[in-house]
Amino acid sequence: MEQARYKYIYGPVASWRFGKSLGIDPISRPEKTCTFDCVYCQAGKTRVFPKAREIFIPTEDLLEEVQSLPPMDLDTITFAGNGEPTLAKNLGEMIEGIKSFRNEKITVITNASLINQKDVQEDLLLADLVVAKLDAFSEASLNDVNQAMPNVLMHHIIQGLKDFRRIYRGRLALQIMFIDANKKYAAQIADIVKEIRPDEIEINTPLRACAVKPLPERDILEITACFTKIGVESFRIRHVYEAPKKTSSPICPQSTERRRGKEGV
Ligand code: SF4
């Protein structure tokens, strides 16, 4: 098989949420490295559950790769990849480094499992858009859908999101993946969303191949209505069935293919 030209970056890919997005994988390990093992994860089962944040790739190696890119028009540069990007201890350093020579907005897609940690919040403050996962509302529902590591607790995630919202001046989106297992909790999740007060809510269902079926459009419309009922006008609510995609051609198909199983960019 042809060797991937890029080790840490992939895409650009067309995203219904971000437009034309260049992906950065700050972990870049062949096996998914995550604090969750979501039942709908398109990258398969999680086999590597790290105990703490660590440096997976040196910041200067990533920056060198981004600097070597050919000229291209992008809507955003997005940290996601094959696992949970906030596990990278040098995430903040990477964001600052890229911002020093690129003008695009920086997005981080996180599962929010570590967002109650001060060091993680400090790194995320550097991003222009943070997209945080919120598929559950209780410890039991977190276990049903996200199968989190034992030390990751739903009430810590909720508190972390509220605390982060208070200090973050960028755009905060909550991304909620609905499947059969959590569609009955839409009203409870909506109540928590109201307390967090994000700028945007993204209602999703896994349309790419994975172990569970996506919900049909009529279910997603009913769920969206639950969030509309919260009655906070400043929220922008988008759902996966409504947005047209932009097209894009990856600069390195091999590096992109490896990461595109995930629900992110
Ligand atoms: S969907 Fe995202 S958060 Fe969930 S297991 Fe896969 S990579 Fe981790």
Q: How far is the CA of 84 from the centre of ligand 1 (A)?
A: 7
Taking CA atoms only, the protein residue closest to ligand 1 atom 5 is: 37
- Residue 242 located in a structural domain: yes
What is the total count of domains within the chain? 1
Reply yes or no on whether the pLDDT at 247 is more than 80: no
pLDDT tens for each residue of 99-151: 999 999 999 999 999 999 999 999 999 999 999 999 999 999 999 999 999 99
Supply the range of the domain harboring residue 93.
9-259
- Residue 1 located in a structural domain: no
- Residue 115 located in a structural domain: yes
- Residue 4 located in a structural domain: no
3-class secondary structure per residue, 75-100: CEEEECCCECHHHECCHHHHHHHHHC
- Residue 265 located in a structural domain: no
The finding on whether 109 has its CB within 6 A of some atom of ligand 1 is: no
Q: How confident is the model at residue 4 (pLDDT cuts 50, 70, 90)?
A: confident
Structure tokens at 180: 């059969």
Q: How far is the CA of 250 from the centre of ligand 1 (A)?
A: 22
Reply yes or no on whether the pLDDT at 235 is more than 90: no
Reply yes or no on whether the pLDDT at 245 is more than 70: no
Taking CA atoms only, the protein residue closest to ligand 1 atom 4 is: 38
- Percent residues over pLDDT 70 in the chain: 90
SS3 174: strand
The finding on whether 14 has its CB within 6 A of some atom of ligand 1 is: no
Mean pLDDT of 54-63: 98
CA angle (164 as vertex; 49, 153 as ends), nearest 5: 40
Q: How confident is the model at residue 239 (pLDDT cuts 50, 70, 90)?
A: confident
Task: Specify which residues 13 forms β-bridges with.
Answer: 21
The finding on whether 206 has its CB within 6 A of some atom of ligand 1 is: no
Question: Within a 13 Å sphere around the CA of 124, how many CA atoms are in the beta-carbon half?
Answer: 35
- Residue 248 located in a structural domain: yes
Least confident of 72-81, 93-102, 151-160, 247-256: 247-256
Candidates 29, 34, 40, 82: which one to mutate for ligand 1, based on the most atoms within 8 Å of Cβ? 34
- Residue 21 located in a structural domain: yes
Higher pLDDT, 244 or 241: 241
Backbone angles phi, psi at 130, to 5 degrees: -115, 125
Structure tokens at 118: 């001060």
- Residue 220 located in a structural domain: yes
CATH of residue 231's domain is 3.20.20.70
Q: How far is the CA of 71 from the centre of ligand 1 (A)?
A: 31
Q: How confident is the model at residue 258 (pLDDT cuts 50, 70, 90)?
A: low
Tell me the C-alpha to C-alpha distance, in Å, between residue 20 and each of 5, 68, 73, 116, 200.
20, 19, 8, 30, 19
The finding on whether 36 has its CB within 6 A of some atom of ligand 1 is: yes
The pTM for the full model equals 0.92
pLDDT tens for each residue of 145-184: 999 999 999 999 999 999 999 999 999 999 999 999 999 9
Dihedral angle sign, alpha carbons of residues 110, 8, 126, 16: negative
For residues 190 and 25, what is the distance between their CA atoms, to the nearest angstrom?
Answer: 30
- Percent residues over pLDDT 90 in the chain: 78
Supply the pLDDT for residue 1.
44
The finding on whether 53 has its CB within 6 A of some atom of ligand 1 is: no
